Structure 1
């Protein structure tokens, strides 16, 4: 029972006790008063009637005596009058039935008023003439008692109702700080740190609120400090201090991630020899200033053309990894880059289109990081050798279908549910227990199995992600795939789905009708959370309300803050594969440990990805991660 209800019940009980006591006191006082009134009236009537009857009884005038008694008796205040003539023993009785109007029978049955009667002897001198006995009628007493009690109960009830409303209002006002404290404590338990609670007027509660605000502020500061630690480690290990661009190590990890996932795009390597001339003229400070200006312009203008990573990998060398770009987008990106470089060269007092070269290569199927870097470097060397601004090595990879053919075939395969599923186990770090399974899908196109690595780039390119996710979830439900395992099943959502309001509405109905919603885990990529947090948060609320859980994929890949974890409160995160890559370079554990500390501080489970073998897994065992997955346990076909 809540504190409000306990206090309310206590005061209600006390007030009810006081009211009952008042009613009882009023009842007894009124009863005694009416009894005394009836007794006094009876005495007065007996005296006056005896004096009036005496002369008539002396003369034996029975008619006049009866007339006098009738006058008094018909007033209705007496139940019975008995007159006994002592001379001949004749007895006359006048009697009224006990009929009381306007009084409930239960009150009459209580017999509140006992029998009240008075007897006296009428004499003449020393001679006794007759005996007179009068019994009072209780009707008037009951009527007056009922009226008084009725009025008393009505007034007290009205006061009671008004007091209850006033009491509830005042209790709400008084206890509101306690309610706020409870909410704040609950949010603190969920690692949510909102605004401080306003100080109440009550002195005792004010001290509690101050303590809660202080505790919340300290916990919030702990999270901010951990977040800053991760950011500082990333900046120290992965950021070039002059240009504030990612360095070679970060670029290598992102290339490795990109080639291990479905994607399309290319890599541009750039060598800016004109920066050496600037260094010769103005020293390293002048060169560094120009590098900062050039980097800022590239970061401001190039991402609008194609998504990617801009990195400084050496003193005069830069790299541009385009992670989502078609051939024409790479061309536009290259032209814009050349324009920016020439403008900065001219501002620095050098000749345009000189002293810099660009080597361009495009991603093809089954390409390794070394192949992509080697191909771009060959293109760069060719441009330097020929004295050209840029050189493009076009692998001329034969395209299986053109864009419209891909659209037609993908829509046909998706709408007809030509899915084939696999899943990969996610194991507990400290035991062999399987904590979840991640679902992968392939498509059957032209009677051939097409992997996600091949068709997902075109899903993103043609904005078919929402359609794919809807049909995929329907197929999972129809084929009852989730029922094949006891563990929760993780399902990755595409960027398109996370940004479509229609998908959120559809998912609400789907989860309401699904039999396995509580066994579903929905994963969102970190990049989508950073770019479209509000849409992701709305979708998260829908998923949670259905009993499903939320996970963050590729956590730690982006260079931004991790404050979205505190706002979103996912059930688990999967660290980006780059941390496993950094570990190979003996530089990953420190950043990985800091990120895990942030997650543990928010009570979020951590899964390390990209584990290739037992030896690599051994390096992560000292960290407080909850699980791992990777090529150490290959995906398995789902047999029904």
Structure 2
């Protein structure tokens, strides 16, 4: 039984007990008062009758007529005249009646009518004694009516007390509900704070709960900071802060092969000509400062190009990945300017500086082929002199259509419903299907090629058209669920989540088929979730009551933000494939991912690995704490 109901029962019970006690006391008091009034009336009427009889003749007829006159008024149960020796001279009686008052009431509150008596004299001698007993039915009627009036007043008082009690209990219940909600959130591994109420007892409880939440958050923050350091050591160059070679090669492989990657892009590589000479001539500190400045330049370019990545491949080689950008000239010119500034600052010998090579790739090109083309471009630059940049043969690199063409293409595809979902299994370590990951595909023209999301979603984002595509994807997913698929996951763009109108339309779409919602998994990329975090929180809290499973995909690069996810109510994370590639042979990444899974499990999140390429990678995941995986190595059922 709930505490609120117990409080209500306590209030009702106390009110009833108070009413019953007051009612009984009032009724007994009223009965005693009526008995006293009857006794007084009997005595007064007996005295009046005795006086009248004393003044008249005492012959039997006159006495009987006087007694009959009083008795016939109907107010008396018995009128009797007794001689001085105690013998009854005249007696008139009628049965006791309670009128229409219920017998149970007269039995519960009996009224005794005590007889009144007075002396009848004849001159100076005693003629006899008059004894008179009034009927009690009038007293019962008065007591019965008084009971009804008392019940009415008590009822009105009880109603007023109930209304006041309800307000008081509701006031008490609000902070209790907040504490209960906080406890339920903690049981779901969502750690939220609540406002502390003014009531001292509840305030101490809320304060203790908030203190526990703060301690848990601090523990998560400490563990996240430690794992962030592990991630940096495993994936980043300690001097420049750029990605190391192994991690960058995973990112480059993902850009070339993942279905949701842009269809083309550029790779720029910089090679310092004589780093060893700089180290020897100017000292290690100068050489380190040179590398840090170059690293800062690469970091700045990455910050201005969403999805870009940069790395220090070895001592003198740097690389810049620009997905979706098939014209790296601006970035290359900027890097050349940085090298010139370093020469002017005296950090590099002006005779031997460095060289840049770049190449434009298409989705599906092999990693070895791209690296060979870019390396050849660097060699060409080295052969032509100092501080040069050469672009490799672009081969079959595809130029993007202009915005007007893309807008028309997307609008026609949406209008003609040339959209579909394809299926990739997501399974746990025992091979049981968790859900089907269903990325969107778009047909540019009737009967034409189906384009992967990476080919059109970046353009749709630029044209602010992601909302219609995302809603279409969710609608297609609901249709598949209605046909009997066990669970379907679709990804939504961060730009769509940012729109309040999209969030409301998405809620209405899913609410219209609410019975399918528990089998619908919705995921947003890490960059979109954290870039529009407040809107992402609003989206999660809007959809969670519908029963959808909510998650973040491509997670890991902003792992330090994981502490912000503790009270949103997410269900799962999908770890970016760049952390998963060759995980069976990378102890540093293994330590990071094991800690990531531990923290995610502590806040109630399922953890799924993306882009699993080999059976060796797949076999290594359960020991690290992963709950599921997707990618080429996961067999289709």
Q: TM exceeds 0.5?
A: yes
Q: 2-side partners of 1:433 and 1:560: how far apart?
A: 31
Q: 1-side partners of 2:234 and 2:248: how far apart?
A: 12
Deviations 1:50-95 (CA, angstroms, capped at 9, x unpaired): 02322213389969986x997x899x99457868899xx9999899
Q: Is the 8 A contact 1:266 1:325 kept in 2?
A: yes
C-alpha spacing 1:353/1:419, structure 2 compared with 1 (3 Å): farther
C-alpha spacing 1:57/1:297, structure 2 compared with 1 (3 Å): farther
- Quote how far apart the aligned CAs of 1:255 are: 0.8
Q: Is the 8 A contact 1:589 1:620 kept in 2?
A: no
C-alpha spacing 1:347/1:168, structure 2 compared with 1 (3 Å): farther
- The match for 1:260 is 257
Secondary structure in structure 2 of the residue aligned to 1:395: coil
C-alpha spacing 1:620/1:196, structure 2 compared with 1 (3 Å): same
- Quote how far apart the aligned CAs of 1:351 are: 8.0
Is 1:492 the counterpart of 2:491 in the alignment? yes
Q: Is the 8 A contact 1:422 1:635 kept in 2?
A: no
Q: 1-side partners of 2:509 and 2:253: how far apart?
A: 36
Q: Is the 8 A contact 2:27 2:143 kept in 1?
A: yes
- Quote how far apart the aligned CAs of 1:250 are: 2.0
Q: Identify the match of residue 366 of structure 2 among 365, 368, 377.
A: 368
C-alpha spacing 1:162/1:484, structure 2 compared with 1 (3 Å): closer
Q: Is the 8 A contact 2:326 2:360 kept in 1?
A: no
Q: 1-side partners of 2:198 and 2:500: how far apart?
A: 42
Secondary structure in structure 1 of the residue aligned to 2:581: helix
Q: Is the 8 A contact 2:113 2:134 kept in 1?
A: yes
Q: How is 1:140-289 mapped onto 2 (pairs within 5 angstroms)?
A: 141-142=139-140, 145=143, 179-195=177-193, 198=196, 212-213=209-210, 215-261=212-258, 262-263=261-262, 264-273=264-273, 279-280=279-280, 282-289=282-289
Deviations 1:324-346 (CA, angstroms, capped at 9, x unpaired): 3243xx33333333334433443
Q: 2-side partners of 1:426 and 1:14: how far apart?
A: 60
Q: 2-side partners of 1:612 and 1:169: how far apart?
A: 63
Q: Is the 8 A contact 2:81 2:90 kept in 1?
A: yes
Deviations 1:262-290 (CA, angstroms, capped at 9, x unpaired): 31321111123476665455422233234
Q: 2-side partners of 1:242 and 1:20: how far apart?
A: 85
C-alpha spacing 1:127/1:593, structure 2 compared with 1 (3 Å): same
- The match for 2:423 is 423
- The match for 1:397 is 396
Q: Identify the match of residue 333 of structure 1 among 331, 353, 363.
A: 331
- The match for 1:21 is 21
- The match for 2:592 is 591
Q: Is the 8 A contact 1:306 1:333 kept in 2?
A: no
- Quote how far apart the aligned CAs of 1:315 are: 2.8
Q: 2-side partners of 1:475 and 1:624: how far apart?
A: 32
C-alpha spacing 1:467/1:14, structure 2 compared with 1 (3 Å): closer
- Quote how far apart the aligned CAs of 1:602 are: 1.4
Is 1:502 the counterpart of 2:490 in the alignment? no
Q: How is 1:232-631 mapped onto 2 (pairs within 5 angstroms)?
A: 232-261=229-258, 262-263=261-262, 264-273=264-273, 279-280=279-280, 282-300=282-300, 303-305=303-305, 307-327=307-327, 330-348=328-346, 355-387=353-385, 388-397=387-396, 399=398, 402-403=401-402, 404-429=404-429, 431-444=430-443, 445-452=445-452, 454-477=455-478, 480-514=479-513, 516-558=516-558, 560-583=560-583, 585-587=585-587, 588-631=589-632
- Quote how far apart the aligned CAs of 1:523 are: 1.5
- Quote how far apart the aligned CAs of 1:251 are: 1.2
- Quote how far apart the aligned CAs of 1:488 are: 1.0
Q: Is the 8 A contact 1:569 1:602 kept in 2?
A: no
Secondary structure in structure 2 of the residue aligned to 1:603: coil
Secondary structure in structure 2 of the residue aligned to 1:574: strand
Q: Is the 8 A contact 1:313 1:319 kept in 2?
A: yes
- Quote how far apart the aligned CAs of 1:355 are: 1.3
Q: 2-side partners of 1:509 and 1:495: how far apart?
A: 19
Deviations 1:174-202 (CA, angstroms, capped at 9, x unpaired): 77775554333222222233348759775
C-alpha spacing 1:278/1:616, structure 2 compared with 1 (3 Å): closer
Q: Is the 8 A contact 1:464 1:496 kept in 2?
A: no
C-alpha spacing 1:569/1:172, structure 2 compared with 1 (3 Å): closer
**Scaled by the length of structure 1, what TM-score is found?**
0.83
Secondary structure in structure 2 of the residue aligned to 1:448: coil
Deviations 1:569-622 (CA, angstroms, capped at 9, x unpaired): 321222221232141543332222111111111121122232334333222232
- Quote how far apart the aligned CAs of 1:412 are: 1.8
Q: Is the 8 A contact 1:247 1:312 kept in 2?
A: yes
Q: Unaligned 5+ residue runs, structure 2?
A: none
Deviations 1:214-272 (CA, angstroms, capped at 9, x unpaired): 54344333322331232011111112222222222221111112222231321111123
Q: Is the deviation greater in 77-86 or in 135-144? A: 77-86
Q: 2-side partners of 1:215 and 1:567: how far apart?
A: 14
Q: Is the 8 A contact 1:425 1:434 kept in 2?
A: yes
Deviations 1:484-506 (CA, angstroms, capped at 9, x unpaired): 44521111223332233332122
**Scaled by the length of structure 2, what TM-score is found?**
0.83
- Quote how far apart the aligned CAs of 1:299 are: 2.9
Deviations 1:268-326 (CA, angstroms, capped at 9, x unpaired): 11123476665455422233234434433543465325541122223332211112324
- Quote how far apart the aligned CAs of 1:142 are: 4.9
- Quote how far apart the aligned CAs of 1:24 are: 0.2
Deviations 1:397-436 (CA, angstroms, capped at 9, x unpaired): 264873344443333223211234431222221x232221
Secondary structure in structure 2 of the residue aligned to 1:57: coil
C-alpha spacing 1:561/1:246, structure 2 compared with 1 (3 Å): farther
Q: Unaligned 5+ residue runs, structure 1?
A: none
- The match for 1:124 is 122
C-alpha spacing 1:634/1:341, structure 2 compared with 1 (3 Å): farther
C-alpha spacing 1:568/1:254, structure 2 compared with 1 (3 Å): farther
Q: Is the deviation greater in 56-65 or in 286-295? A: 56-65
Q: 2-side partners of 1:508 and 1:199: how far apart?
A: 34
Q: 1-side partners of 2:483 and 2:127: how far apart?
A: 114
Q: 1-side partners of 2:451 and 2:480: how far apart?
A: 19
Q: Is the deviation greater in 369-378 or in 598-607? A: 369-378
Q: Is the 8 A contact 2:196 2:207 kept in 1?
A: no
Q: Is the 8 A contact 2:116 2:133 kept in 1?
A: yes
Q: Is the 8 A contact 2:247 2:579 kept in 1?
A: no
C-alpha spacing 1:228/1:119, structure 2 compared with 1 (3 Å): same
Secondary structure in structure 1 of the residue aligned to 2:330: helix
